[in-house]
Structure formats: C-alpha cells, structure tokens
Structure 1
Amino acid sequence: MRVFENTDDILGSVGETLGTSDWTTVTQDQVDKFADATGDRQWIHIDVERATRESPFGGPVAHGYLTLSLVPMFGKQIYRVANAKMGVNYGSNKVRFPTPVPVGSKVRSTAVLTEATAVSDDVVQMVVTHTVEADGASKPALVAESVSRVYF
C-alpha cells in the first residue's frame, strides 16, 4: 500500500509505480447486474449459451465499462492519501479496452502516478494510469487514465 502523506509527497512521486492490486474474479452475476444497471443487455454479456455457441470469445465477456468500474476498488487496494479531507473522481482521460475479459477471469490492476498538479493550496489533481490485466491474457484488458482531486 502506497501512502501519500501530503501535497509535496504526491507532487514528488510523478512517474512512480504505486503498486498492484489483488486479483478479483469477474462473475456472471456481476455482469448480469451491470447489464441491469446500465441497460446494456447485449447477448455477448448475458446470454451464456448463445455466447458460448456464437461469440468469437468462446463465452460471455464482461462489459468494458464494468472493467473500468473496478478501478476505484483497485485504487483503494494500491494507494491512499493520509490526512485528506476527501477525494473526488474528476473524470478519465484515455480509456482503452485492448482485450475482452471472459466471465470467470481473474483481473488486477497496476497503477502508475502519471501526473500531479497543485490546483490550489489545498487541492491536488492526480492522474493515475491503471493497467488492468486478465489472468493469462497477452494484452491488457483495460488501460485508463483516472483523474481525481484530493482535498486537504
């Protein structure tokens, strides 16, 4: 767990690999609930029999945005900012899904502090690049620049 103590600690750590999260398994139940929550009920995600029979992926795959939605969980496993009043998601820069995540796959993230900027005396903007790998895949499942603001 990488712990940032203050603004200077964050600003001085640009380029640092912050760590790697634990593996987590993507389940069909998660995929189905994500489909219900987002309205994205495409058969390659939720119809196990059809996806197994017809999909080029050999079975159902997680939504790319489901994989992206795991980034906050991964981030909490990798780093934290001590003494912060709060942190907020500010958005994302680049988001790419180079390879699908088959249901049942284990995924984890490695995070790098790509940028850090003092927005004011008590606010720091962090850009953390998350590279999410699926166990056994040759390409990342997700590469995303997550932008957050930390308030001291």
Structure 2
Amino acid sequence: MPIASLDDIRSRIGEEIGVSGWLEVTQERIDAFADATEDRQFIHVDPATAAQTPFGGPIAHGFLTLSLLSRMGAEAMLLPDGLRMAVNYGLDRVRFLAPVRSGRRVRGRFVLDSVDEKAPGQLLLRHTVTVEIEGEEKPALTAVWLGLMFT
C-alpha cells in the first residue's frame, strides 16, 4: 500500500486515490470459496448445470468478490505515515450489481470519502469502492468500506 502523510491523505478527500490491478476469478478460486463457506450452490460450482441458467455458466459468489477488496485495497489505498495497524471496521451500502462469471477479471477503484479521528491515534477512513469487471459496462459491486487505522 502506498504510504502518505496524513495531510496528503486529507487533501485527497473526494478524489479517486487508486485503482488495483486486475485479478482473475478462476473456477478454482470459486470452488475454494465454496468449500470455505459451505455455499456450494450449483450456479457457483457445477459448470454443466450453471450453463443452463441465464448466466450461461458458473458465477462467483457475491461475497467472494467482496472479499477480494482486501487484496485490491493493498495495491490502491493510501495509508498514513506511522501506521501501526489497520483493521476492517465494516461496510455500508453494499450492492451486488452484476455477476462475475468464472474466468473473468475484476479490479477495484477507490475514492476517499472521509478521514475522521475516532479517538487519539485512531483514524477512520471511508472509501467508496467500485469493483469493475473487465470488458463489461456494469460493475460487479459498489460499497462504502470503512478502515480503522491505528497510528
């Protein structure tokens, strides 16, 4: 993650602060997520049956796509100088807008919405994130992601 001064980060409020690289959502990744979450619905793990649906084949779990935010954010989000630890604080307004078909690539686009001091040495950063699907107009999801930073 890129490191910046707190003043630099605050000066970027309202701006796009980064875009991650593309990540492939392979069938192996989908199957591993299905095993980890015990959500083995056929639209995710049975290519032959999923091919008979309007999706035309297997699709990723929405929560799989959402879980990739951590990986995407590691490339795109700014972190304050002197950071000791960062934790997920939650999500607001998560919407799954389009399915991610097996074999497609996704990336995250991050806009910094706010930086608030929650307590001394604790900063709450709020980002609007859009996960794009390569070659598609409609994004996979949008969410407001909150990260608690300990400096």
Matched with 1:3 is: 3
SS at structure 2 position matched to 1:74: helix
Q: TM-score, normalised by structure 2?
A: 0.94
Counterparts of 1:128 and 1:142, CA distance in 2: 14
Q: Residue 69 of structure 1 is aligned with which of 67, 70, 91? A: 67
C-alpha distance after superposition, 1:123-142 (max 9, x if no partner)? 11011111011111121101
Q: What's the offset of the Cα at 1:121?
A: 2.6
Counterparts of 2:10 and 2:119, CA distance in 1: 13
* Structure 2 runs not aligned, ≥5 long: none
Q: What's the offset of the Cα at 1:9?
A: 3.3
What do you get for the CA RMSD once the two structures are aligned? 1.3
Matches within 5 A, 1:1-152: 2-6=2-6, 8-52=7-51, 54-81=52-79, 82-152=81-151
Q: What's the offset of the Cα at 1:144?
A: 1.1
Counterparts of 2:133 and 2:60, CA distance in 1: 11
* Structure 1 runs not aligned, ≥5 long: none
C-alpha distance after superposition, 1:30-85 (max 9, x if no partner)? 10010111111110000011111x21011000000000000010001112423201
SS at structure 2 position matched to 1:103: coil
8 Å CA contact 1:95–1:144 kept in 2: the answer is: yes
Counterparts of 1:21 and 1:111, CA distance in 2: 8
Counterparts of 2:112 and 2:32, CA distance in 1: 31
C-alpha distance after superposition, 1:86-132 (max 9, x if no partner)? 00100101111110000000111110011221112311101111101
Counterparts of 1:145 and 1:85, CA distance in 2: 23
Percentage of matched positions with identical amino acids: 43
Counterparts of 1:3 and 1:14, CA distance in 2: 16
